[in-house]
Amino acid sequence: MISLYKSTACSASRLSVAPMMDWTDRHCRYLHRRMSLRTLLYTEMVTAPALVRGGATHLLDRDPSEHPVALQLGGSDPGELAAAARLGAEAGYDEINLNCGCPSDRVQSGAFGAILMTRAALVAECVAAMIAAQPRQVTVKCRIGVDDQDPRSVLPDFLGRLVKAGVKRVQIHARMAWLQGLSPKENRDVPPLDYALVHEMKRAFPSLHISLNGGIGSLEMAEAALAEGLDGVMIGRAAYQTPSSILLSADRRIYGETGSERSAEDVARDMLPYIEAHLAAGGKLAQVTRHMLGLFAGRPGARAWRRILSEGAHRADAGPELVERALAALEVDGQPAVSPAA
């Protein structure tokens, strides 16, 4: 097991992996932490009603090695969000984040997510209650606006209310959310990016820690955003689909850490004891390995790696030896990365 760097969520947030439904579960976060000690990780969105009314505290389960890690909450009731934030703090999360950016129909019907961009006063009330309820820093992930809003008037007002309520850090997805006319998938790509507006907000709110989200596909783009004055960068799909290209050199390039970088092979082998423990507890191999499919993206043998895991992980008898077999199929400079298992 690699030793973990102790870092606050604020210092870690120079780079973060975005909260992504069905993707950034505890198995994904465990994998990502094997790749970067410093990057801030986020849970999937957990709804406050599920925690407070439904008692679904198992949704807060995490491995101790995940730190620094943030809990993202969805909701719109100040009292309920305060109670959920308290549960998150008690569960050991380093940051509590409020989702004001998700455009899905399910989120809209629950009166939270991106629709909250139209209810800035309520959001301010929510975050004030969350801050008062527990000791962790409360942050907000938002869009630049929704539907027919004018982002250059809406976003400054929204951020100003957050600052007055006590928020010190935000993550801004630099796209509008179209709740009418676009699907959640289309909302991730179709609305144009407006990085310039996010930079304007940093100049308008110099004391507010602002992270840029949306369309960041490489560490080069992240480094450029930081060099231009933003405080942090949040990467979503690229960090999940091609994690090695983002996370393996992040500690050196984003945080200035020295020392040798780990390889994707090292990470895959680190996952074997975790997989064994997961299976012993009654879990399924595919629950872990589905997050590992992109580990060797762009490498010789990556297709064989994905095929072996995809085809075999759902079998009832699948275990760590499948990962060993997939590793054996990889090639580095034309040579096998590891010897085939006996």
Where b means 16+ CB within 10 Å and e means fewer, 223-254 reads eebbeeebbbbbbbbbbbebbbbbbbbbbbeb
Please calculate the CA angle 338-37-131 and round it to the nearest 5 degrees. Answer: 145
102 tagged catalytic: yes
Q: Which of 10, 28, 102, 126 is catalytic?
A: 102
Alpha-carbon gap, residue 196 to 228, rounded angstroms:
11
Where b means 16+ CB within 10 Å and e means fewer, 204-216 reads ebeebbbbbbbbb
Alpha-carbon gap, residue 61 to 123, rounded angstroms:
27
DSSP state of 232: E
Q: Which residues are catalytic?
A: 102
